[in-house]
Amino acid sequence: MFISQISVFLENKAGALREMTALLGQGGVDLLALSLADTQSFGIVRLIVHSGQIDEAMRLLKDGGYVARINHVICAAVPDRPMGLSELLGVIEEANLSVEYMYSFMRASKAGTANMILRLNDGAKAAQVFALKDVVMLSQDDVDALGAAN
Amino acid sequence: MSTKQHLIYNPACECMSRDELLALQSARLAETVKREYENVPMYRARMDEKGIKPEDIRSVEDLKYLPFMQKTDLRDYYPFQLLASPRSEIVRIQGSSGTTGKPIVSGYTRNDVDVWSEMMARTLTAAGCTKDDVVQVAYGLGLFTGGFGAYQGADRIGAMVVPMSSGNTQRQIMMMKDLGVTLLCCTPSYATYLGETIREMGLVPGRDIKLKAGCFGAEPWTEAMRARLEELLGIDACDIYGLTEIAGPGVAFDCLEKHGMHVNEDHVIAEIIDPVTEEQLPYGQSGELVFTTITKTGMPMIRYRTHDICSLNDKPCECGRTLARMSRITGRTDDMLIIRGVNVFPSQIETVLVGTQGVAPHYMLIVDRVNNSDTLEVQVEMTDDMFSDTVGHIETVRRYITEQIKSVVGISAKVTLVAPKSVPRSEGKAKRVIDNRKL
């Protein structure tokens, strides 16, 4: 139900994001999805990589002096049509859950769906609700398959 | 000769001959040392250690044999162990920043409040204040001595006091205009801000604003700032020096000659020492300013090291006063910062960070002056414990640190989170402060 995500702390200064992505890129880590949250004074980068590359990515980041951590998020497949996302958010709202952040995958697993990565205030409850409401969730294997398809 | 008209509040004390003054100081010093020895165990122990008895101190000449006192003493013997009078005789507590989380406090007897009021009455009179004046006090009224000091001095003169305390600039200006305020007491940076706001509002000093003088202190400033303030507000801008440990504002003050601040030497003895050898330095030479109170009864201070660097001048002044003058403060012998009139020690910030779980003790303080107001940025390194994938969580930690700093230091700081290991580590004493203010 859950997939692993790496979050990295970045200072809000020129070149910070490029340096970090270059570090991972030179280490051969392939980024499957990325989102950047920025405030006036700092940024958080969230990354999805192939599960086989998580340890290597974390090692590169720690050795590079970055503060980074792994946590778990939900990846939901949303029908790729008008109202697709809105309906998913309706399910979330109905269950009294709230979205802390959300971003989308760069690659679709199959035609006609878009993959959304969601961090909800209560992940366990969200997974139950989604299963009940037939929201399609990607497993870590599904996500890894997206990377392999490259 | 000067063409300025000088008002003197207490000519008998402010203009006595140096010989008379020396005799008075000597008698008062002997009395103070005796009081201290008999009532303050800590200082008695220090004198005993040096083999000095109160009767050995007969004149100002003997001052150099006495042990020093330090700001850390006010922390170590907090809050009442330095009192030389019974607690029931204390009528007031004032305080200022300590070097760690706790403020330092000073206890005043009725006599001490009177002495302080007298010093501030002299200060305001020297700036041209009489009972016909309207004095706006825009220093904070509270534990900080600025507000109460100015209030008491103006009250002693019989002037009309407007106790605004600090902040709320629009209301300050409204009162200044409506009440015809003639004297302003606040920090020089706030005075500049008030002056600029007055101009922006289209008010004309001299027509809408009746200010004639101001007594500005609690933070370092320059002759250039004085010229700017005088031009901006059409006033005489007078410098004023003081510290809670000794009394508060009014320990030394500018007369309208503005050539050094007269030290109220019938109440305090000023010395300049070499901060390293601790030897006394002659008049004219720059060193650390040391004060001994000689009329205070609540919490007398003997050879209190201010850590301020300046020089003394005992030449008679054009204004008629014989009180020696101290130069502007040119620096500090420790790492104390004065930010918006508040004394800030980097160690206070360190106390907050060390006391906050998950926060690294590495930090950098960046001080600047933007639009005449001091700014403080505290750079804190991100740690594994503080980090989260959500902005909200990190912001909560950042806000918590900001609030802790505000409550311990007393001023608002901008807390910035920086990458781990980005604060420079150095061998020995780390550099914790970057002061970009151009003073």
How far is Cα A124 from Cα A84, in angstroms, rounded to an integer?
23
Is the per-residue pLDDT at A150 higher than 70?
A: no
When pLDDT is cut at 50, 70 and 90, the band that residue B133 belongs to is: very high
Indicate the domain borders of chain B: 11-334, 338-435
Q: Is B357 on the interface with A (CB under 8 A)?
A: no
Q: Name the 3-class secondary structure at A124.
A: helix
pTM for the predicted model, two decimal places: 0.79
Q: Is B185 on the interface with A (CB under 8 A)?
A: no
* B248-291 tens-digit pLDDT: 999 999 999 999 999 999 999 999 999 999 999 999 999 999 99
Pairwise pLDDT comparison (B241 vs A105), residue with the higher score: B241
Is the per-residue pLDDT at A136 higher than 70?
A: yes
User: What pLDDT is stored for residue B428 in this prediction?
Assistant: 54
Token pair belonging to A22: 């270059």
Pairwise pLDDT comparison (B353 vs B180), residue with the higher score: B180
Most confident of A30-44, B195-209, B290-304: B290-304
CA distance B418 to chain A (A): 6
Which residue from A30, A46, A55, A52 is spatially nearest to A150, judged by alpha carbons? A30
Q: Is A132 on the interface with B (CB under 8 A)?
A: no
Superfamily designation of domain B11-334: ANL, N-terminal domain (3.40.50.12780)
When pLDDT is cut at 50, 70 and 90, the band that residue B427 belongs to is: low
Is the per-residue pLDDT at B366 higher than 70?
A: yes
∠ at Cα B34 (B31, B35), nearest 5°? 85
Q: Which CATH number fits domain B338-435: 3.30.300.30, 3.40.50.720, 3.20.20.70, 3.20.20.120?
A: 3.30.300.30
| Per-chain mean pLDDT for chain B | 93
Fold match flag (A2-70 vs A72-148): yes
Considering only CB atoms, which chain A residues are within 8 Å of B402?
Answer: none
Is the per-residue pLDDT at A68 higher than 90?
A: yes
User: What pLDDT is stored for residue B439 in this prediction?
Assistant: 66
Q: Which CATH number fits domain A2-70: 3.40.50.300, 3.30.1490.70, 3.30.2130.10, 3.40.50.1820?
A: 3.30.2130.10
The mean pLDDT value for B195-221 works out to 93
User: Among residues 401-430 of chain B, which lie with CB inside 8 Å of chain A?
Assistant: 416-422
The mean pLDDT value for A51-67 works out to 95
ipTM for the whole complex: 0.86
Which residue from B118, B129, B71 is spatially nearest to B268, judged by alpha carbons? B118
Tell me: domain A72-148, CATH 3.30.2130.10, correct? yes
The mean pLDDT value for A54-80 works out to 94
The mean pLDDT value for B415-423 works out to 89
Indicate the domain borders of chain A: 2-70, 72-148
User: Among residues 380-399 of chain B, which lie with CB inside 8 Å of chain A?
Assistant: 382-384, 386-392, 394-395, 398
* B298-332 tens-digit pLDDT: 999 999 999 999 999 999 999 999 999 999 998 88
Is the per-residue pLDDT at A37 higher than 60?
A: yes
Is the per-residue pLDDT at B140 higher than 80?
A: yes
User: Among residues 78-107 of chain A, which lie with CB inside 8 Å of chain B?
Assistant: 100-101
State the SS3 of chain B: CCCCCCCCCCHHHHCCCHHHHHHHHHHHHHHHHHHHHHHCHHHHHHHHHCCCCHHHCCCHHHHHHCCCECHHHHHHCCCCCCCCCCHHHEEEEEEECCCCCCCEEEEEEHHHHHHHHHHHHHHHHHCCCCCCCEEEECCCCCCCHHHHHHHHHHHHHCCEEEECCCCCHHHHHHHHHHCCCCEEEECHHHHHHHHHHHHHCCCCECCCECCCEEEEECCCCCHHHHHHHHHHHCCEEEEEEECCCCCCEEEEEECCCCCCEEECCCCEEEEEECCCCCCECCCCCCEEEEEEECCCCCCCCCCEEEEEEECEECCCCCCCCCCCEECCCCEECCCCEEECCEEECHHHHHHHHHCCCCCCCCEEEEEEEECCEEEEEEEEECCCCCCCCCHHHHHHHHHHHHHHHHHHHCCCCEEEEECCCCCCCCCCCCCCEEECCCC
- Taking CA–CA distances from B398, the nearest residue in chain A reads A41
How far is Cα B412 from Cα B393, in angstroms, rounded to an integer?
21
User: What pLDDT is stored for residue A105 in this prediction?
Assistant: 85
When pLDDT is cut at 50, 70 and 90, the band that residue B221 belongs to is: confident
* A99-134 tens-digit pLDDT: 999 999 877 666 688 899 999 999 999 999 999 999
